[in-house]
Amino acid sequence: MARRRIGQESFGFGDFRARRQSSLDDLCGLIDWAPVEHHLAVISCAAKGEPAWPPLALFKAMLLSVWYDLSDVKLAEALDDRASFRRFCGFSSSEPTPERTAFVRFRRALVTHELDRSLFHEITGQLKARAIKVKTGTLVDATIIASTSEEDGDAHWVKHKGKPAVHGFKAHVGADADTALVEEVSITAANVNDGRVGPDALPDNPGEVFADSAYRGNHFSDAVRAKGGTPRIVATGMWGRDEAETLKRLDAWNRPIHRGRGRIEKIFGTWKRSYGLRRMRWRGLAKASVQVLLTAVAYNLRRSLTILAAM
């Protein structure tokens, strides 16, 4: 397949070292991108009669769209205009950059080849190897994300007490309890029970698994034990003869679980507040999966940069 060659102009970034370093330059050096490029090698999403853009450059552009909450149109404009964006994706200062339709074709190719999950695990595996030294526990929870349209047949309505009904999807997430790096993600329609899909959000050797009362029951607890973990699920009641003593035991059990679980709420807050995941951009479960997993990759890269800087 014919592909464009980018970043070839030696004079394009001749003054690179004289410029102020961008956080994107640090992110670019955070992992080995060669295995990521190998996963993407099957993709060729060129317009008819044109050479294809390098898929790694398009993938990095997708990460930029998450970090800066950009539509395809705004991403194409920013990539054409901003030097730090060009450097991150591998473009020299004067060569052309992809138009918005290239990003549409690239996302379609990710769905066709089912690469979103393998890319997530490749990058997350590298980051975990650098940032996680000793695994102690896992946080498991789910968040609802509104669909782009109520006509999306893969999404579903869900209603929680005291909150308005939402038509959308649900991201089920397992995150490291110490570093808050996202280790597993599963995406379903919004009405799917948390406890039923919870096992899909468990990494291997999860340690102590902290989850709310929606994960009560043998289905989830047995899955945790099968992976070598210990379930720590919020209890809604306990048996006891003395009411005060029983409530004291209940509080003693639940307090550390609630304290630990607060970290995963911060992950969801970052996704929705900073990365544009308040609503899905595209229709269908497959494209919802791409958006959530790209968001998880972008979050993990930024989070790892913070963790490593503090070491």
Contact 66, 276 (CB under 8 A): yes
Q: What is the pLDDT of residue 2?
A: 59
Residue 230, SS3?
A: strand
Q: What is the pLDDT of residue 13?
A: 45
More confident residue, 159 or 44: 159
Residue type, 78: A
Residue with tokens 């996963």: 39
Task: Considering the chain, tell me which residue range(s) the CATH 3.30.420.10 domain(s) occupy.
Answer: 134-310
Distance CA 299, CA 213 (A): 26
% of the chain with per-residue pLDDT over 90: 72
Q: How far apart are the first and last CA of the chain?
A: 43
pLDDT tens digits, one per residue of 107-154: 999 999 999 999 999 999 999 998 866 778 999 999 999 999 999 999
At residue 20, does pLDDT exceed 70?
A: no
More confident residue, 190 or 44: 190
Distance CA 161, CA 203 (A): 31
Under DSSP, the state recorded for 215 is G
Mean pLDDT across the chain = 90
DSSP letters, 54-89, are PHHHHHHHHHHHHHTT--HHHHHHHHHH-HHHHHHH
Distance CA 273, CA 282 (A): 18
Model confidence, pTM: 0.89
Confidence band (pLDDT; 50, 70, 90) for 17?
Answer: very low
Minimum mean pLDDT range among 113-122, 241-250, 294-303: 241-250
Distance CA 147, CA 156 (A): 9
Distance CA 74, CA 80 (A): 10
Contact 280, 168 (CB under 8 A): yes
Distance CA 211, CA 176 (A): 13
Assigned fold of 134-310: Nucleotidyltransferase; domain 5 (3.30.420)
Contact 136, 160 (CB under 8 A): no
Distance CA 9, CA 156 (A): 50
At residue 53, does pLDDT exceed 50?
A: yes
* C-alpha dist (Å) from residue 55 to 102, 195, 229: 10, 37, 38
Average confidence (pLDDT) over 209-229: 94
DSSP letters, 91-153, are --SSS----HHHHHHHHHHHHHHT-HHHHHHHHHHHHHHHH-SS--EEEEEEEEEE-S-TT-T
Which helix (H) or strand (E) segment holds residue 288: the answer is helix 285-310
